[in-house]
């Protein structure tokens, strides 16, 4: 009985020791194999999981807008009174949900593409509709005198503004204000120019890029990092570090991200 008990304890100890040794060996080997598998599928190349997830954004991206409505336009225009402003919004649009276009794999470990610009109104995430009418600044009327400063041009501009019955303030829908409308004043100018005005015009149904990003084939830590934007590494808008094109387009990031790691992404709309 004693022998059987001692033998059982000895056998258990031996088995436990063997399992511990195997565990110590297999865990790093397993991590190595898993790491290799992840690296293989994380490279942005046709046929990998990463490529499919990178080509079409897996999560939705939204933009929200708030606009200021002038509540006393007659007093502002007639008496020079300070405007009383009412903030309205948010007006929410879904963006960045279409597949990348003109995708080209390059021989230097990068891949290039264009981003389609589209904005779809999301009524369930908005307060009001995109057809809400806003009393706001007339963008063309306010901007034109600052662009053309000569006295002669000012006289011509005033003539065209009056003939188009335009004023400093105007009524526009949220959709027109954001994405564009044909301005009656600009339409009167007898020069070849685009009469459409909008805060984000042109945006819808246009392409943003050319983007050139690292695939991760040469360095997995650089996967999806932007190598250049429109063939440039700098934007020529800011000074120093702020002018750099860095990070990703926000659709994907390199694998093995740590909690303490800072994730950077680039937005061409704000040139940063």
Q: What is the pLDDT of residue 30?
A: 44
CA 209/CA 11 separation, integer angstroms: 67
For residues 146 and 149, give the distance between their C-alpha atoms in angstroms, rounded to a whole number.
6
SS3 at position 212 = strand
Domain positions in the chain: 42-270
| pLDDT the model gives residue 108 | 93
Alpha carbon dihedral 167, 173, 178, 180, in 10-degree steps, equals -70
For residues 226 and 89, give the distance between their C-alpha atoms in angstroms, rounded to a whole number. Answer: 33
CA distance 227 to 229: 7
Per-residue pLDDT of the chain (272 residues; tens, 9 = 90+): 555 666 655 565 566 555 556 555 544 544 444 556 566 678 899 988 889 888 987 778 899 999 999 999 999 999 999 999 999 999 999 998 899 999 999 999 999 999 999 999 999 999 999 999 999 999 999 888 888 778 888 888 888 888 899 999 999 999 999 999 999 998 988 888 899 999 999 999 999 999 999 999 889 889 999 999 999 999 888 888 888 898 998 878 888 888 898 888 888 887 77
pLDDT at 14: 62
Please, are residues 42 and 48 in contact by the beta-carbon 8 Å criterion?
Answer: yes
Q: For position 29, what pLDDT does the model report? A: 46
Looking at residue 7, its pLDDT comes to: 63
pLDDT at 19: 55
Mention every residue, 6+ apart, whose C-beta is less than 8 A from residue 219: 109
Contact 207, 101 (CB under 8 A): yes
What's the confidence (pLDDT) of residue 32? 47
Given this model, what pLDDT does residue 138 score? Answer: 94
Contacts of 154 (CB under 8 A, 6+ apart): 145, 148
| pLDDT on residue 50 | 86
Long-range contacts of residues 202-206, Cβ cutoff 8 Å, at least 24 apart: 203/117, 203/119, 203/179, 204/117, 204/118, 204/119, 204/179, 205/116, 205/117, 205/118, 206/116, 206/117
């Amino acid at each position: 009985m004693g022998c059987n008990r001692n033998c059982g304890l000895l056998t258990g100890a031996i088995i436990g020791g063997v399992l511990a040794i195997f565990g110590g060996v297999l865990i790093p080997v397993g991590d190595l194999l898993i790491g290799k598998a992840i690296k293989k599928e994380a490279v942005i190349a046709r046929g990998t999981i990463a490529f499919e997830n990178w080509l079409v954004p897996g999560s939705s991206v939204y933009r929200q807008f708030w606009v200021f409505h002038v509540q006393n336009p007659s007093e502002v225009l007639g008496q020079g009174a300070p405007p009383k402003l009412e903030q309205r919004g948010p007006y929410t649009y879904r963006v960045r949900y279409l597949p990348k276009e003109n995708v080209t794999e390059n021989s230097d470990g990068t891949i290039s593409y264009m981003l389609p610009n589209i904005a779809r109104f999301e009524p369930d995430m908005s307060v009001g509709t995109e057809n809400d009418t806003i009393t706001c600044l007339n963008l063309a009327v306010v901007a034109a005198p600052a662009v053309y400063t000569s006295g002669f041009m000012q006289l011509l501009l005033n003539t065209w503004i009056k003939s188009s019955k335009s004023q400093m303030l105007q009524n526009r829908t949220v959709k027109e204000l954001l994405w564009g409308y044909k301005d009656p004043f600009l339409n009167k100018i007898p020069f070849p120019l685009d009469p459409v005005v909008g805060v984000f015009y042109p945006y819808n149904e246009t392409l943003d890029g050319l983007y050139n990003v690292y695939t991760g084939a040469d360095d997995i830590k650089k996967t999806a990092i932007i190598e250049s934007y429109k063939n440039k590494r700098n934007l020529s808008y800011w000074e120093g570090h702020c002018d750099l094109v860095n990070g990703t387009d926000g659709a994907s990031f390199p694998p093995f991200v740590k909690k303490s790691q800072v994730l950077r992404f680039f937005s061409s709309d704000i040139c940063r």
